[in-house]
Structure 1
Amino acid sequence: MDKRLATRLVHVLLLFVIAFGAIDLRMAWIGWRASREQRSGSVSAQSAALQRSDRLELDTGRAQFLDRRGVYLTGETVLALAAFPSGGMPRGTEAAVAQLASIMNIDKMRLGAWLDGMREADVWRAADGRRAYALTEDQAQKIAKLRLTGIALLPYRNRYPSPDSLNALHAIGYVSQNPERLRSLYGESVRERKLRLTDSIGGAGLEMSLDRWIHGVGRTEAIVVTDAARRPLEGLGLRLQAPDNPHYPLHVRTTIDSAVQSAVQSVVAKHRIAKGAVVVLDARNADVLAMLSLPSYDPTRIGKTGTDEGNHALIAVPPGSVFKTVTLAAALEAGVTTLSERFRCQGHYGRYGLKCWREEGHGVLTLEEAYAESCNVVFAALAERLHPGALQKTADRLGIGRQVGWHADEFLNGGPLRLLQEEQAGTVFKRVEDGKDGGVRTGTGIGQRDVRMTPLQAANLAVTLIHQGKVLAPRIVSELRYADGGLLAELPSQSAPSAYGSIRPQTAAVLRHAMRAVVLEGTAEHTLGDRKWPLAGKSGTAELGDSSALGNDHWFVGYGPAEGEARYAVAVLIENQPTGSRNRAAQLFGEIMDRLLAREEPR
């Protein structure tokens, strides 16, 4: 529904075009106005009457999420058909009910059964059974002419749009009922009856991490006063009860760019990716422009479909050869190799049973060529040369093996805030002492063994190299504003420094050059070498276990353009691919970058 129609609903159709049997429409409107004027406090007589009432929640009062340009990601307002229990009173003539069914293009028997069996006020739901069915303006005008008892046209806010149009679903998260957690977090509000145990609470994503600040100051409800038999009382009509606070609900401005998110979703859908993640960061400041996780899910049906609801962009998994970026940095920082060194790969390392992916070997290689060709033998040798703690510390310097997302120790007097609360830290070694074992170290150096990395960390690794080794904290929310536009809180960009310091700018430059070589003459040459933008990156294929039946995860991490100012850093993860299959992540990376370039070109 467009904004103009939504505005008309609020200012015009909020007259609640309602036909409560013999209740005069004018009286219904006057009754509603009186209720609005007294919504912040009720006289005792009204309070007593409202104890016998039917209530329909139209809006939870929860904050709305917007993208960076002000496009709403939640809070779809629709005009809905609402019905209240009639207390045995006839709804109207059979012809009128049939006409209502015809207007809404639904089965007359189904509509009749819904109305006759009604025990609680509700709205007619869409096919998914969860979201309110959105009436068109034409339907609304026709229904308004019918005289049916206990039927109303009301503006209703669907928290989430349809699954097909959801942007940044996993990042936004979902709300669900969790009485125990609600009582634990908001016990005082429950005792004061500001919250009900049946109220929804943030269960994942930003809905969860920001919950204490965004659950609002109260719901908006439509109320019908009834007698003891639940028959609507003539003359009292339909009333609206809403918080009398112009500052709420809040607006949460995210860094998500809906156009970028949609482009990513389109590419992934084209390739029919079943499981994985894509993260797109603004290379200039590490803002999250898009975050996609698969499989998708319906936030209105949590726990009812058996669907994997985790955010795979924040789950740490084996990175494969992407981790060779860390190994190369550690070797250069430790001085155990130089760019002029030559290596010989004969297809196997000769120790620990480690082999190169190219069975016949790569022959003689420079350090950069070994990275571009992703030679296991060279990187196993480099890892074994390193001090046991070098890989762990270098990974930390690059934002790997720790949480890097935006956080504050104190936020709006509500305690600490970590926006991406579900972000996993990942690992380099399962135990510190494992780094002393040469065999463990060689496997770690090529991104296997116990190495775990999230797609968010991987994309941010590219940003770190672009910024000469300085780790920035990926940010997904920029500000919170009141409903009237006033600023409540700004969340500025921040860095995420390591306790071990940073890598040298010279090392970062070598790594960027090596990532460019991957595209120009290495493993991604045929896939990315002729793209419209000059690109740079690193592919990875992570083995999921000793059995080939477990398959592999495919990675590609990179940035573009690789010449001039970089604009985007992207990580692509495709999980559970057949062993020996071509790495598909580089192809997706290239197509996503093509889409992003099209956005940058003059129109």
Structure 2
Amino acid sequence: MNKRIKYIGVFIILLMGVLIYRLAQIQLLETESFSEQDVNLMKESVKQRTQEVIIDDGRGRFIDRENKPLNETYLPTLVLFPFLKNYQWPIDQLAAAISVRKDEIEQLLKGTKNEPILLNKEKGFQLDEQDIKAINKLKIPGVFGIFMKTEQSDNIASHLIGMTSENETEWKKRYPDKEITSLSPEVGVTGLEEAFDEFLQPEDASRLLYHVDGLGRPLFGVNVKYIADSNPFYPIAVQTTIDKHLQEKAEQILTKHQINEGGLVLLDIENSEVVAMASKPDLDRNDPKTYENKMLSAMFPGSVFKTVIAAAAIDTNMIKPERTFNCDRNVYGQTEKEEEKRAGTLTFEESFAKSCNYAFATIGQELIQKKSNIIEEYAEKLGLLSFSGWSGKVYHYDQFKQFPREQRGTIWGDDSDKRSAKAIAQTSIGQKNVKVTPLAVANMMATIARGGEKREVKVVDKILYKNGETMYTFKNHLMKGEKISPATSSKLTDLLLQVVAHPDGTGRAFQSLPVKVAGKSGTAETGTLNDNGKKLYHKWFAGFFPAEHPKYALVVVDMNKTSGRAKTNDVFYEMVEQIYNVNEE
């Protein structure tokens, strides 16, 4: 019996020891890194007994080239803390100050589940700066008028700017030597939010907070603490090259013409800067399939790629004025079955203007016979195979990229394709394994317009401190490698002009625009079918304008469409018209 009591006693002592150790582990030893999940118990404890209103999360912001904010605004907001429903307070004065019924405020407080109430334009309460002053003049505990940083409901450039996500594990992985300053640390996961994440990280947030007990009642009376970010340098602003007005117009035009998959890229030619970039479908945080920025994705270019073949043909003196091509034939040299596809005998210039596949398949074969790598060589000279986006050393980043998700272009799937007449023919018209990004095609057009000078594309010009001083400037970069000559650029420009000027050119619809356009159309088979068994195509138009003194390069892509009239021309036309009207104004 005594033995059994001893065993029970030892067991109880051991059990108590384990419990005491566990309590010490939670309360003293592993307060900031508990269990395999690395839980910060102190922070979780603070979360449980703290209620707060984030006025400004302290994360850096994006502005356009004229310092206009993109995708965020500061809304006049009334904050009502929930403990007000348990106290007598001058609700009549507040109602009179903001012209809202007393019973409406009371109803809102009754309906809250111990969470602060935020009333602003998005909630149907039209408040202005004078209202905020009137609210704060009352000095009612638990009632505040603030200007709250808020994402705009009609976000623009959403794919370009990207998204953030609350992810403490990823935050610690990226910044192991930094101290977490937020209860819910965010990281950029797409677009510029991802590229500039380290610069955008908050030093601290501006917030209102108070401490509560288990029932949501104030622990220290009705005092609410205001914590403001007093750092004069942070948060920073990323100044993009985007023109906010033209970005909005681009997105409206794409929606109007029902471009459901695809988008456009508009570049300023002089500095190779992105003025507008829009991708469809619209970004939906709840649907990962919409995250991809199509303008940075490599895809079949179709006849737009004939520009590369034309450049190589010009430089190798392959094109003689008297040479013609039988464009009644298809890409494989067989007579076209459909009569409407027969174009008769055409010169090289006419073949380019009317996009004759047979002519460029023939030229491609001859080019490969002269030099096996000539097609990729000229694609590289025009900037289609390298990354087009700005990259370089920025502080401790040896290769910082403004477009981290940009894909490379490709020409051949396998060297054996260069020994196959059919594969060469398909490659020469931008099919088979040819894939390039719309961004790269826009930059190719800008390169031709600049006389052959290749530049990396910028979408961010500067990083600015909070006080407006410059933290970092992204200088213009030339692209490495060989380039086409000014003479070749001039001849390519003449060809691109004929696409629009020729009575039967594939870009003749642009003849009525107020400025002269040089460009190239493209229709690429994707090799896939829709639900009805119809072939799907990518429709392109890429060009620059005004042709005499080029200012802009523009690419429009309408992806996965069945055959028929392309919407790309409509979008291109209206975008040029819009830019011209804006410049005239």
TM tier, smaller:
0.7 to 0.9
* Structure 1 residue matching 2:278: 3-state secondary structure: strand
- Equivalent of residue 540 in structure 1, options 506, 518, 522: 522
Deviation by residue 1:13-53 (Cα, 9 ceiling, x = unmatched): xxxxxxxxxxxxxxxxxxxxxxxxxxxxxxxxxxx999954
Offset, 1:66: 0.9
The aligned amino acid for 1:237 is N
Cα deviations by residue, 1:284-303 (Å, 9 ceiling, x for unpaired)? 121111111112235xxx2x
Q: Which has the larger radius of gyration?
A: 2
Which residue matches 1:162?
153
Question: AA paired with 1:176?
Answer: S
Distance 2:125 2:419 in 1: 62
Residue 343 of structure 2 corresponds to which residue in structure 1? Answer: 362
1:391-412 residue CA offsets vs partner (Å, 9 max, x unmatched): 112111111123111111x212
Give the AA of the match of 2:543: G
Q: TM-score, normalised by structure 2?
A: 0.82
Q: Does 1:62 align with 2:51?
A: no
* Structure-2 change in CA distance of 1:431 and 1:250 (3 Å): same
Q: Which residue of the partner structure matches residue 530 of structure 1?
A: 512
Identity of aligned residues (%): 28
Counterpart position of 1:567 = 551
Q: Deviations over 1:34-86 (max 9, x none)?
A: xxxxxxxxxxxxxx999954322221211121111111114411122334342
**Pair 358,480 (structure 1): closer, same or farther in 2 beyond 3 Å:** farther
Which amino acid is 2:197 matched to? D
For residue 376 of structure 2, what is the aligned residue in structure 1?
Answer: 392
The more displaced of 254-263 and 541-550 is: 541-550
Give 2:144's aligned residue: 152
1:549 matched to 2:504? The reply is no
CA distance in 1, matches of 2:386, 2:103: 54
How far did residue 111 of structure 1 move?
2.9
Q: What are structure 1's unaligned runs of at least 5 residues?
A: 1-47
Alignment CA distance shift 1:474-1:429 (3 Å): same
Letter in 2 for 1:578: T
Distance in structure 2 (CA, Å) of the matches to 1:142 and 1:554: 57
Give the C-alpha shift of residue 600 in structure 1: 2.5
> Aligned with 1:156: secondary structure?
strand
CA distance in 2, matches of 1:261, 1:308: 19
Change (3 A) 1:113 1:407: farther
Pair 1:479 & 2:462 matched: yes
> Whole-Å Cα distance in 2 between the matches of residues 416 and 124 of structure 1?
45
- Following superposition of structure 1 onto structure 2, how do residues 495-506 of structure 1 map, counting pairs within 5 Å? 495-498=478-481, 501-506=482-487
Which amino acid in the other structure matches residue 231 of structure 2?
Answer: N
Relative to 1, partners in 2 of residues 1:264 and 1:279: Cα closer, same or farther, differing over 3 Å? Answer: same
* Partner Cα distance (1:533, 1:247) in 2: 45
Q: How does 1:309-458 map to 2 (within 5 A)?
A: 309-351=291-333, 359=340, 361-387=342-368, 388-408=372-392, 410-458=393-441
Q: Which residue of 1 aligns with 2:499?
A: 518
Q: CA deviation at 1:259?
A: 2.0
Q: Which residue of 1 aligns with 2:206?
A: 220
Task: Tell me how far apart the structure 2 counterparts of residues 596 and 549 of structure 1 sit (CA, whole Å).
Answer: 36
Distance 1:240 1:93, change over 3 A: closer
Q: How far has the Cα of 1:228 moved from its partner?
A: 7.0
In 2, Cα distance between the equivalents of 1:105 and 1:448?
Answer: 69
The match for 1:199 is 185
Aligned-residue CA RMSD (Å):
3.3
Distance 1:113 1:174, change over 3 A: farther
Taking a change above 3 Å as real, the CA distance of residues 381 and 82 of structure 1, as seen in their structure-2 partners, is same
435-444 or 356-365, which moves further after superposition?
356-365
Structure 2 residue identity aligned to 1:506 = A
Moved more, 415-424 or 281-290: 415-424
Contact 2:499 2:508 in 1 (8 A): no
Aligned residue for 1:424, secondary structure, equals: coil
- Post-superposition shift, 1:368? 0.9
Query: Unaligned regions of 5+ residues in structure 2, if any?
Result: 1-44
| Matching residue's letter, 1:193 | I
Measure how far apart 1:103 and its partner are: 2.8
Helix, strand or coil at the partner of 1:80: strand
Distance between the aligned counterparts of 2:101 and 2:515, measured in 1?
50
Q: Give the Cα separation in 1 of the matches to 2:474 and 2:320.
A: 42
One-letter identity of the residue aligned with 2:243: D
Alignment-mate amino acid for residue 390 of structure 2: W
Residue type at the aligned position of 2:512: D
1:551-572 deviation per Cα after TM superposition (whole angstroms, max 9, x unaligned): 2221100111112x11111001
- Matched with 1:72 is 69
Identify the residue that residue 175 of structure 2 maps to in structure 1: 186
Offset of 1:350 from its aligned partner?
4.5
Q: Take 1:598 and 1:509, find their aligned partners in 2: how far apart are those partners?
A: 28
Distance 1:193 1:536, change over 3 A: closer
Which residue is equivalent to 1:585?
Answer: 568
- Tell me the distance in 1 between the aligned counterparts of 2:246 and 2:342: 40
Distance 1:262 1:228, change over 3 A: closer
Match in the other structure for 2:18: none
Residue by residue, what CA displacement relative to the aligned partner does 1:414-449 show, whole Å, maximum 9, x if unpaired?
443100111111221223443332211110111111
Return the letter of the residue paired with 2:165: S
**Aligned residue identity for 2:147:** P
CA distance in structure 1 between the aligned counterparts of 2:272 and 2:243, rounded to whole angstroms:
13
Q: Secondary structure at 1:386's aligned position in 2? A: helix
* TM-score, with structure 1 as normaliser: 0.80
Superposed CA offset, 1:458-500 (max 9, x none)? 11111010122221111011111111122111101111123xx
* Equivalent pair of 1:349/1:355 in contact (CA under 8 Å): no
CA contact (8 A) 1:97 1:112 kept: no
Say whether residues 1:239 and 2:225 are aligned partners: yes
What letter is aligned with 1:553? H
d(CA) in 2 for partners of 1:411 and 1:357? 56
**Cα deviations across residues 508-544 of structure 1 (Å, max 9, x unaligned)?**
1111100000000143454111211111100111112
For 2:510, the aligned partner's letter is L
Q: Counterpart amino acid of 1:81?
A: L
| Contact 1:470-1:497 within 8 A present in 2 as well | no
Quote how far apart the aligned CAs of 1:161 are: 0.9
Q: Residue 593 of structure 1: CA displacement?
A: 0.9
> Are 2:528 and 2:536, in contact at CA under 8 Å, matched by a contact in 1?
no
The alignment partner of 2:500 has SS state of helix
2:346 alignment partner AA: L
Measured in 2, the distance between the counterparts of 1:193 and 1:205 equals: 23
Is 2:273 the counterpart of 1:287? yes
SS at match of 2:86: coil
Residue 6 of structure 1 corresponds to none
Q: Tell me whether 356-365 or 502-511 shows the greater mean CA deviation.
A: 356-365
Q: CA–CA distance in 1 between the matches of 2:103 and 2:53? A: 22
Task: Tell me the CA shift for residue 138 of structure 1.
Answer: 6.7
When residues 456 and 234 of structure 1 are mapped into structure 2, their CA distance, relative to the original with a 3 A threshold, is same
**How far does residue 356 in structure 1 lie from its aligned partner after superposition?**
9.1
User: What amino acid is the match of 1:559?
Assistant: F
Distance 1:424 1:376, change over 3 A: same
Seen in structure 2, the aligned counterparts of structure 1 residues 241 and 428 have a Cα distance that, compared at 3 Å, is same
CA gap 1:416/1:349 in 2 versus in 1, 3 angstroms: closer
Q: Verify the 8 A CA contact 2:442 2:555 in the aligned structure 1.
A: yes
Residue 450 to residue 83, structure 1, CA distance change in 2 (3 Å): farther
Tell me if 1:135 matches 2:135. Answer: no
